[in-house]
Amino acid sequence: MKAAVLYTPGGPENLKIETRPIPEPAKGQVLVKVKAFGLNRSELMTRKGYSPNVTFPRILGIECVGEIENDPSGEFKQGQKVAAVMGGMGRAYDGSYAEYTVLPKEIIIPFNSKLAWNVLGAIPEMFHTVDGSLSLALQIKKSETILIRGGTSSIGLLAIQIAKRNGLTVIATTRKQDKKVLLENTGANYVLVDNGSLSADVRKLFPEGVNKVLELIGTSTLKDSLKCAVQGGTVCMSGMLAEKWSINDFSPMDFIPATVNLTIYDSGQTKLDKTNLQAFIKDVEAGFIQLSIGQTFHLSKIAEAHQLMESNLASGKIVVVTER
């Protein structure tokens, strides 16, 4: 099989395409024929060497869609369409940047769909993060206001649509003036150009603040996002577009406004729900949700795909397919 292997952290050119034997699944594992996978910022950080405890060489990739090639237990039939996400893949063990991958059965989610593989490849981690952030962490409710900071990211664009479908008023942000139309067309009620300090602009629209904040930029803007929330409101950090893990000299009493709730959503700590995933795929098939796919690459062009991700010019999820 062909696989993209990272031997040493560094630039996109460090991802090397090589031929490897197809791995054999052990007890509790399945062999998946990878059809497509989405790229994620966490993989970029791992590629750069920013992910603790990841050893090399490593095949990256924290998500994929494909078909069961071999399940020694017989639970899954050959050809069954499946998704897999997180659970250590691409970090603790080899992940999806390959034509085949061996994965633990507990992270395998079967589904049915006639969508193209490049469309399906955009879904697992993106939907898992958005659904968990909005439903579990923020517990959004109809008629609430929500600020989505980092709205032009693939997570942000999907979060706008799902928040609107649930009856929320949505404020979305971008750093670029020319992206405002994209956010408006996606469904945002208000669009703000983010210069790193938004709280004053948010309170011009909603003097008391907003009910919920989905923070996708990360630690660099988190303190300002907390200032955007109403008393009793909730801020959830689910992304790190700024590529910074921690906050220097964090002092909770100074950092967090009184009565404002701060939480995070980490898809690695929860499991993607099979029923929710299938329902979401049906919404995509019916046209209720428009997935924002920035560009599709073949596995052989994985370095170019990573270059595009690092440039922040994709305007949607970058997907890699294994077949031409």
Closest CA to 123 of 175, 63, 79, 177: 63
Average confidence (pLDDT) over 57-73: 98
Q: What is the pLDDT of residues 14-61, one digit of tens each?
A: 999 999 999 999 999 999 999 999 999 999 999 999 998 999 999 999
- Lowest mean per-residue pLDDT among 52-56, 207-211, 226-230: 52-56
| Residues in the chain, overall count | 324
**How many CA atoms within 13 Å lie on the side-chain side of 25?**
20
Domains of the chain: which residue ranges?
2-123+291-321, 125-268
- CA-to-CA dists, residue 202 to 28, 187, 208, 284, angstroms: 50, 18, 9, 31
DSSP string, 101-150: EEEEGGGEEE----S-HHHHTTSHHHHHHHHIIIIIIS---TT-EEEEET
- Please state the pTM of the whole predicted model: 0.93
> What are the φ/ψ torsions at residue 306 (nearest 5 degrees)?
-65, -35
**How many CA atoms within 13 Å lie on the side-chain side of 162?**
28
Q: What is the pLDDT of residues 156-171, one digit of tens each?
A: 999 999 999 999 999 9
Q: Tell me which CATH code domain 125-268 carries.
A: 3.40.50.720
Q: Does domain 2-123+291-321 have CATH number 3.40.50.300?
A: no
**What's the token pair of residue 28?**
């509790």
